[in-house]
Amino acid sequence: MKNNELILILDFGGQYNQLIARRVRECNVYSEVVPYNISIEKIKEKAPKGIIFTGGPASVYGEDSPRCADGIFDLGIPILGICYGMQLMTHTLGGKVEKAETREYGQTDVNIDNTSSLFTDFNNTNKFLMSHTDFVQEVPAGFKNIGSTSHCPNAAMENVEKNLYGIQFHPEVNLSINGTQVIKNFLFNICKCSGDWQISSFVEESIKSLKEKIGDGKALCALSGGVDSSVAAVLLSKAIGKKLTCIFVDHGLLRKNEGDEVEKIFREQFDINLIRVNAKERFLNKLAGITDPEKKRKIIGEEFIRVFEEEAKKLGTVDFLVQGTIYPDVIESGLGKSSVIKSHHNVGGLPDYVDFKEIVEPLRDLFKDEVRKTGLELGIPENLVYRQPFPGPGLAIRIIGDITDDKLEILKDADSIFREEIANAGLHKSINQYFAVLTNLKSVGVMGDERTYDYTIALRAVETTDFMTGVWSKIPYDILEKVSSRIVNEVKHVNRVVYDITSKPPATIEWE
Ligand code: XMP
């Protein structure tokens, strides 16, 4: 991607690398994460205003420890080395890196020299996150010490003449108080960036580079109606128009009217080549009698791929398969070694089944809120852009036990009332996920003078930022009361409504 002003981030394997990229973008400077061993020619071609070396788990003394290209320090481009990046800079330029007896980890008081351009606007002592074992014992010739902690004699260094800077701490994380200011100082005081990049520039540049990349080729995109695939599809459609085909597999397990709404937006507002496959019956047949949540997920995942594949085959070979992968997906799939609580199905399995030449993932470097901003910039309606997360297997995992058409209708109606009342109360932006669950429980009630024996609906609402943990939302009683009375009055076969007051953990957000 061509940019007027670019910061290159050399990836040495640290866990916060994309966060560094994001912080730079928050300062309105475009940044790109590239492999640590990017060649000098490539760097020259990209002509960045500055380079950041990330941290990483290696030791500079390790046999295969990652090294940067020779000559990078002579390019005259400002470089900031963070953690391992600082140690590598030291080691390469003739300073001394040593192993410490103990690891220094956690928020630490760092004494700094605030006359350095890197630390403009800082006090002498600041709380930053340290996370390292090796440390710089002796800075290279020509460098000056500009920071230390009680355990680390050289927590920051600079060579003003060569525009080379190193910091042992991590300015990108929230645990480093005001850490972004260090990044800002590097960008504006040292690299002399102007900071005029905006999400609109990302959109413009992505469209341009997608046009160049795809040329006259054909592209295919699986559209789910979720934020990520929608933004990816619209971006592609702006770049290549009708050379893009989107396949929307409607498994019939979406929320009330959702399938039609998705279709309307993409056909009418964006004039996208859209194939909607109404496959409800197919999915319900496969799911008949299935009660195990993981089996449901597996069946839906496989059937989804099969339907998509059948439709894709009709189109013949396509050159590019578009995926709405965003950065958090990349971390989850790359580092996700934790045990499987639920096998979250997404369309990750598609590439094996479809005849295509290359995958295009235009949102791969973005975080969710950046994807949302991109969506708004592209003109996607706010209610879609700010849609709460919705699981791939849809309502199938919100009907406890086996799934039937009747149960689906009951759940859709109850859920729609709950969502409507949450929106009426203006709570839809503060509660991160809220929905109804059809429990498999029937209980006795009384309506009019009649005994009833009907279903119990559970309401679930959680507040969370990462969806890994969350607390149940304290929805005011009068709103719960209204939802409850509307559901039992308006939805047939429901005579009881309960509210789930469990946080995650120990419960999960979905019931299955
Ligand atoms: P849990 O229930 O694990 O949910 O606390 C965390 C988040 O993940 C969503 N979720 C899924 N998303 N396929 C998905 O695409 C799934 O099978 C699935 N199960 C849960 C859930 O809605 C919540 O946002």
pLDDT tens sequence across 458-512: 999 999 987 888 999 999 999 999 999 999 999 999 999 999 999 999 999 999 9
The verdict on residue 393 lying in a domain is: no
* The predicted structure's pLDDT at residue 409: 98
Is the dihedral angle over the CA atoms 12, 14, 18, 22 positive or is it negative? Answer: negative
The CATH number of the domain holding residue 470 is 3.30.300.10
Mark whether 510 is an active-site residue: no
Cα distance between residue 181 and residue 445, in whole Å? 61
Is the bond preceding residue 505 a cis peptide, omega within 30 degrees?
Answer: yes
* The predicted structure's pLDDT at residue 46: 95
Number of domains in the chain: 3
Catalytic residue among 172, 370, 421, 512: 172
Cα distance between residue 169 and residue 129, in whole Å? 5
Q: Are residues 232 and 310 in the same domain?
A: yes
Q: Give Rg (Cα) of the chain.
A: 27
Q: Are residues 203 and 179 in the same domain?
A: no
Q: How far, CA to CA in Å, does 464 sit from each of 397, 432, 468, 470, 471? A: 20, 6, 8, 5, 7
Residue identifier of the C-alpha nearest atom 3 of ligand 1: 508
Strand pairing category for 50-53 and 79-82: parallel
Query: pLDDT tens digits, residue range 101-149?
Result: 788 899 999 999 999 999 999 999 999 999 999 999 999 999 999 999 9
The verdict on residue 378 lying in a domain is: yes
Q: Are residues 378 and 419 in the same domain?
A: no
* The predicted structure's pLDDT at residue 335: 34
Number of residues assigned to the chain: 512
* The predicted structure's pLDDT at residue 316: 85
Catalytic residue among 27, 91, 104, 170: 170
Q: Are residues 378 and 438 in the same domain?
A: no
The parent domain of residue 432 ranges over 404-499
Q: Which residues pair with 105 in a beta bridge?
A: 131
Q: Are residues 178 and 224 in the same domain?
A: no
The verdict on residue 396 lying in a domain is: no
Of 324, 352, 385, the last residue of a domain is 385
The verdict on residue 334 lying in a domain is: yes
Cα distance between residue 380 and residue 384, in whole Å? 7
Q: Are residues 379 and 417 in the same domain?
A: no
Q: Are residues 141 and 180 in the same domain?
A: yes
Nearest to 51 by CA among 151, 191, 184, 148: 191
What atom in ligand 1 is closest to the CA of residue 389? 24
Strand pairing category for 156-159 and 164-167: antiparallel
Q: Are residues 165 and 265 in the same domain?
A: no
pLDDT less than 50: residues of the chain: 1-2, 334-338, 345-349
Q: Are residues 327 and 226 in the same domain?
A: yes
Taking the CB of residue 242, how many other CB atoms lie within 10 A of it? 10
Residue identifier of the C-alpha nearest atom 7 of ligand 1: 467
- Ligand 1 binding pocket (C-beta < 6 A) is 297, 342, 344-346, 389, 391-393, 433, 467, 504, 508-510
* The predicted structure's pLDDT at residue 383: 87
Contacts of 126 (CB under 8 A, 6+ apart): 109, 110, 112, 177, 178
The verdict on residue 23 lying in a domain is: yes
Q: Distance from the CA of 391 to the center of ligand 1, in angstroms?
A: 5
The verdict on residue 509 lying in a domain is: no
Cα distance between residue 509 and residue 109, in whole Å? 38
Q: Distance from the CA of 266 to the center of ligand 1, in angstroms?
A: 25
The CATH number of the domain holding residue 174 is 3.40.50.880
Residue 395 has what DSSP assignment?
A: G
The verdict on residue 390 lying in a domain is: no
The CATH number of the domain holding residue 339 is 3.40.50.620
Taking the CB of residue 500, how many other CB atoms lie within 10 A of it? 16
* The predicted structure's pLDDT at residue 465: 82
Q: Are residues 271 and 419 in the same domain?
A: no
Q: Distance from the CA of 432 to the center of ligand 1, in angstroms?
A: 13
Q: Are residues 379 and 439 in the same domain?
A: no
Q: Are residues 28 and 166 in the same domain?
A: yes
- Please give the model's pTM, rounded to 2 decimal places: 0.80
Cα distance between residue 207 and residue 210, in whole Å? 5
Query: pLDDT tens digits, residue range 285-300?
Result: 999 999 999 999 999 9
* The predicted structure's pLDDT at residue 1: 43
The verdict on residue 505 lying in a domain is: no
Of 190, 220, 243, the last residue of a domain is 190
* The predicted structure's pLDDT at residue 261: 93
Of 190, 224, 258, the last residue of a domain is 190
